[in-house]
Structure 1
Amino acid sequence: MTVNYEYDGVTASQELEAYVKGKLDKLFNKYEFIVRADVFFKTENTSNRSSKMKTSIRLSAPGPRLFAETTSDSFHKSAAEVLTALERQLDKRKSLMQTH
């Protein structure tokens, strides 16, 4: 399983990558069918300070790709919200998968 990080208008942060990687590892352990994750960090050019930091995550798994994004006042908060949304999608995907 690989994780790719992309930064748009943001300097790379090892601490932020470690935070997201830790959260993603929990998902990978729970949902073994995940192949790859693409994580995008971007700053939005808005006057509203509470919606400036955008985090998007795209997961590759059997079937259509899973995607979620959210905007918050910090990358940690937006990453946590995105991972919660992806976990709901993964629960739904897992319930639809059949074992033979």
Structure 2
Amino acid sequence: MNIQIQFVQIPRSETFETFIQKKLSLLAEKYDWLIKAQVNIKQENDPSPKGKICEIELSAPGPRIFSSSNEESFELAVTETIQDLERQLKKRKSKMKPHL
């Protein structure tokens, strides 16, 4: 799976990129039909404790799968987003028909 990570108006972090790639590679191993992942990491200018946003869009057969979360830390936002994507992927996999 091809993974593209974009940091929007925040500094790039190699360790955080590695964290994201590890999490997404686990999804790619489980669902080998995934093609591409587009990850956007943003930070809201909001005084509330939340404001760390992670958006992930997956390209797969059929419609694209998208999830976003707004949490107190970027790691928590990525973890929450990937858990939501996994729920969507399980649902999509159950609907896929095997080729005979």
TM-score (norm: length of structure 2): 0.96
Instruction: After TM superposition, give the deviation of residue 9 of structure 1 in Å.
Output: 1.4
RMSD of aligned C-alpha atoms?
0.7
Alpha-carbon distance in 1 for matches of 2:75, 2:26: 16
1:61 Cα deviation from its structure 2 partner: 0.1
Amino acid at match of 1:99: P
- Name the counterpart of 2:4: 4
1:20 matched residue in structure 2: 20
Paired residues for 1:1-100 under 5 Å: 1-49=1-49, 51-100=50-99
Offset of 1:59 from its aligned partner? 0.3
SS at match of 1:25: helix
Identical columns (%): 36
> Which AA in structure 2 matches 1:55?
C
Distance 1:92 1:52 in 2: 29
Matched pairs, number: 99
Structure 2: gaps spanning 5 or more residues:
none
Q: State the alpha-carbon separation in 2 of the partners of residues 69 and 27 from structure 1.
A: 16
User: What secondary structure is seen at the aligned counterpart in 1 of 2:20?
Assistant: helix
Which ranges in structure 1 are unaligned for 5 or more consecutive residues? none
TM-score, structure 1 as length reference: 0.96
